Structure 1
Amino acid sequence: MKEIILFDGGMGQELVKRNSSTNDPLWSARVLLDNFKLVKNLHIEFINSGSSVITTNSYSCTPQRLKRFNLENEFKNLQRLAITAAKEAVMESGSNSDVKIAGCFSPLPGSYFKDKSISKQEMIETYFSIGELQKDDVDFFIIETMSSIDETVNAVEALSNFNKKIILCFCLSEGDGTKLFSGEDLKEACDSIQIDKINGLCLNCSQIEDISQGLDILKKYNLPYGAFPNNFQSVKPLKLGMSVDNIKKRNDILIDDFVNYAITWLNSGCTILGGCCEITPNYINGLNNYFMNNKYKKINLLN
Structure 2
Amino acid sequence: MADVIQAYLEQQKYLIIDGALGTELERRGCSLDDPLWSARLLTDNPEMIAGVHSDYLHAGADCLITASYQATFQGLARHGYTKEQSQRLIRFSVTLAKNMIDAFWADPANRVNRLKPLVAASVGPYGAFLANGSEYTGDYGITEDELVEFHRERLKTLVLAEPDLLACETLPCFAEARALVRLMEDLDTIPAWISFSARDGRHINSKESIRECAQWLDRKPCVAALGINCTDPVHVASLVKEIRSVTDKPIVVYPNKGGVYDGLTKEWTPKLGQPSFVQMAAQWAKQGARLIGGCCQTTPDDIRGLALALKL
TM bin, normalised by shorter chain, reads 0.7 to 0.9
Q: Which residue of 243, 248, 268 corresponds with 1:222?
A: 248
Q: Which residue of 271, 277, 299 corresponds with 2:296?
A: 277
1:101 aligned onto 2:112: no
Could you report, residue by residue, the CA deviation over 1:19-59 in whole angstroms, capped at 9, with x for unpaired residues? 43143332101221210111111111101100111111100
Match for residue 103 of structure 2? 92
Match for residue 231 of structure 1? 257
Identical amino acids, percent of aligned pairs: 24
| Contact 2:139-2:206 at 8 Å conserved across structures | no
1:140 aligned onto 2:161: no
Match for residue 266 of structure 1? 285
Match for residue 298 of structure 1? none
1:248 aligned onto 2:249: no
Match for residue 8 of structure 2? none
Q: Which runs of 5+ in 2 are unaligned?
A: 1-10, 129-134
C-alpha change, 1:201 and 1:194, in structure 2 (3 Å) is: closer
Match for residue 112 of structure 1? 136
Tell me which amino acid in the other structure corresponds to 2:157.
Answer: L
Question: SS of 2:203's equivalent?
Answer: strand
Could you report, residue by residue, the CA deviation over 1:167-213 in whole angstroms, capped at 9, with x for unpaired residues? 1101101xx21011111221232244463232111110000100011
Could you report, residue by residue, the CA deviation over 1:233-282 in whole angstroms, capped at 9, with x for unpaired residues? 212x213xxx52x33345656xx711111111212222110111111111
Equivalents in 1 of 2:77, 2:273: separation in Å? 37
Q: Which residue of 265, 276, 279 corresponds with 1:257?
A: 276
Tell me which amino acid in the other structure corresponds to 1:99.
Answer: P
Alignment of 1:10-21 (within 5 A): 10-21=20-31
| Contact 2:240-2:288 at 8 Å conserved across structures | no
Question: SS of 1:226's equivalent?
Answer: strand
Deviation at 1:68, TM superposition (A): 4.9
Q: Which residue of 186, 192, 196 corresponds with 2:210?
A: 186
Q: Which residue of 192, 217, 226 corresponds with 1:201?
A: 226
Question: SS of 1:57's equivalent?
Answer: coil
Q: Which residue of 16, 36, 60 corresponds with 2:46?
A: 36
1:172 aligned onto 2:198: yes
C-alpha change, 1:45 and 1:251, in structure 2 (3 Å) is: farther
Tell me which amino acid in the other structure corresponds to 1:177.
Answer: G
Deviation at 1:232, TM superposition (A): 4.3
Question: SS of 1:199's equivalent?
Answer: strand
C-alpha change, 1:4 and 1:30, in structure 2 (3 Å) is: same
Deviation at 1:118, TM superposition (A): 3.6
Equivalents in 1 of 2:310, 2:284: separation in Å? 13
TM-score with structure 1 setting the length: 0.85
C-alpha change, 1:195 and 1:131, in structure 2 (3 Å) is: same
| Contact 2:228-2:253 at 8 Å conserved across structures | yes
Tell me which amino acid in the other structure corresponds to 1:248.
Answer: T
| Contact 1:5-1:272 at 8 Å conserved across structures | yes
1:59 aligned onto 2:83: no
TM-score with structure 2 setting the length: 0.83
Q: Which runs of 5+ in 1 are unaligned?
A: 295-303
Question: SS of 1:196's equivalent?
Answer: coil
CA RMSD after TM alignment: 2.3
Tell me which amino acid in the other structure corresponds to 2:249.
Answer: L
Runs of 4+ with >6 A deviation? none
Could you report, residue by residue, the CA deviation over 1:36-93 in whole angstroms, capped at 9, with x for unpaired residues? 1111111111011001111111001023433554447453232122112101111111
Tell me which amino acid in the other structure corresponds to 2:243.
Answer: L
| Contact 2:257-2:277 at 8 Å conserved across structures | no
Equivalents in 1 of 2:181, 2:273: separation in Å? 35
Question: SS of 2:227's equivalent?
Answer: strand
Question: SS of 1:172's equivalent?
Answer: coil
Equivalents in 2 of 1:120, 1:113: separation in Å? 16
Equivalents in 1 of 2:29, 2:81: separation in Å? 20
